[in-house]
Amino acid sequence: PVPVLELRNVTKTYKVPQGYFKPMATLTAVGGVSLTVARGEVHALVGESGSGKSTLAKMLLGLIPASSGEILIDGVPIAKTDRREVARRIQPVFQDPYSSLNPRKSVADLIALPLVAHGIGMPAERQAKVFEMLDAVGLPRRVIDAYPNQLSGGQRQRVAIARALIMRPDVLICDEPTSALDVSVQAQILNLLMDLKREFKLTYFFISHNLAVVEHLADRVAVMYLGRIVEERSRAGLFEAPRHPYSQALLDSVLTPDPELGMPEAGITGAFPNPIAPPPGCTFHPRCPRASDRCKVEVPKAAAVPDGFATCHLAA
């Protein structure tokens, strides 16, 4: 079957200023990512802050164009798909429901926004759909006239999810959907997302810092480091036997969680590299406990490992 999402060697670079008298530098936020997401699965993306996860998400949503490479939706290049059609099929759930919801709009307006933008339905029909979505996300119908500041963080995220679902999309791109919420609310929202996935037959591309969450709900997991996918596996394959030293370090750090640093940084020594001047060879080599001289000069290729790939000389 044709994957619902496919990335072929997708790159995103930015020109960034270095200083008044210096030429602009090139920052590679995403460097040559190839991935497929099958219909109905939860495909997780993990990696340290700055690894390029949100940049990838924005390209999948059609919010920013790729610098090179190709993104396909059901086999059709996103660049050749009408922007509104992309927005109908792929919807976002972002981290912070407060900044993603206009504070001057009522819940009714916020949830109906995609319908209005697409010119769908008369006001009465829209209201019926909004009620349907409120029911689906477990919000009482009376919140329809409320404003975001009258709602709790969890309720706001439910509004954002209702808005994402009203167009009946195929895919939700969830970028840290619970990390801005109180810990007590996080599980409720995750359970809601999993219920909705079944009810609406959704596919999830799920970005998270929290490996415990990923282990709980992902079918497949991609591990990103400095703009590249270093390992892509089934959940069981990754969590039972990670093959890339970076994934191994990430998983080790789960055993010694550091609430201040956040999970990923805790088990990995050394600083995250400057993305404007990435290390040569394998970009992980300055921090890799298993690096050899070869790693300093030769870029590793993706090598097949049980149910996935790992981009490391030792995995080949």
- C-beta of 51 vs 91, nearer to ligand ATP: 51
Nearest of 146, 138, 142 to residue 109 by alpha carbon? 146
> What is the distance between the alpha carbons of residues 219 and 229, in angstroms, rounded to a whole number?
17
User: Which option in Mg ion, ligand ATP, ligand SF4, none does residue 50 bind, with CB closer than 5 to 8 A by kind?
Assistant: ligand ATP
Please choose, out of 51-59, 141-149, 214-222, 280-288, the segment that lies near ligand SF4 by the rule CB under 6 A. Answer: 280-288
Q: Which of 31, 52, 97, 114 is the binder for ligand ATP (CB under 6 A)?
A: 52
Residue 253 touching Mg ion (CB under 5 A): no
Q: What is d(CA 232, CA 230) in angstroms, rounded to the nearest whole number?
A: 7
Q: Among residue numbers 20 through 59, which ones bind Mg ion (CB under 5 A)?
A: 53-54
Residue number with CB closer to ligand ATP (62 or 275): 275
Output 245 or 275, the one with its CB closest to ligand ATP. Answer: 275
User: Does the footprint of ligand ATP cover residue 272 (CB under 6 A)?
Assistant: no
Tally Cβ neighbours within 10 Å of residue 202. 22
By CB under 6 A, tell whether 217 contacts ligand ATP: no
Of the candidate residues 154, 227, 245, 264, the single one contacting ligand SF4 (CB under 6 A)? 245
DSSP one-letter string for 253-305: HHHS--TTT-HHHHT--SPPPPTTSPPSSSTTGGG-TT--HHHHH-PPPEEEE
Distance CA 230, CA 221 (A): 11
Contact status: 208 vs ligand ATP (CB under 6 A) = no
Residue 285 touching ligand ATP (CB under 6 A):
no
Q: Compare residues 24 and 316 and give the one whose CB is closer to ligand SF4.
A: 316
- Distance of CA 309 to CAs 157, 247, 248, Å? 34, 12, 14
Neighbouring C-beta atoms of residue 258, cutoff 10 Å? 12
User: CA 221, CA 272: separation in Å to the nearest integer?
Assistant: 21
Query: Whose Cβ is closer to ligand ATP: residue 59's or residue 137's?
Result: 59
Answer with the entry of ligand ATP, ligand SF4, Mg ion, none that 155 interacts with (C-beta below 5 to 8 A by kind): none
Closest approach, Cβ 305 to ligand ATP, in A, equals 23
Does 43 participate in binding ligand SF4 (rule CB under 6 A)?
no
Distance (Å, rounded) from C-alpha 40 to C-alpha 160?
21
**Integer Cα distance of 213 and 186 in angstroms:** 10
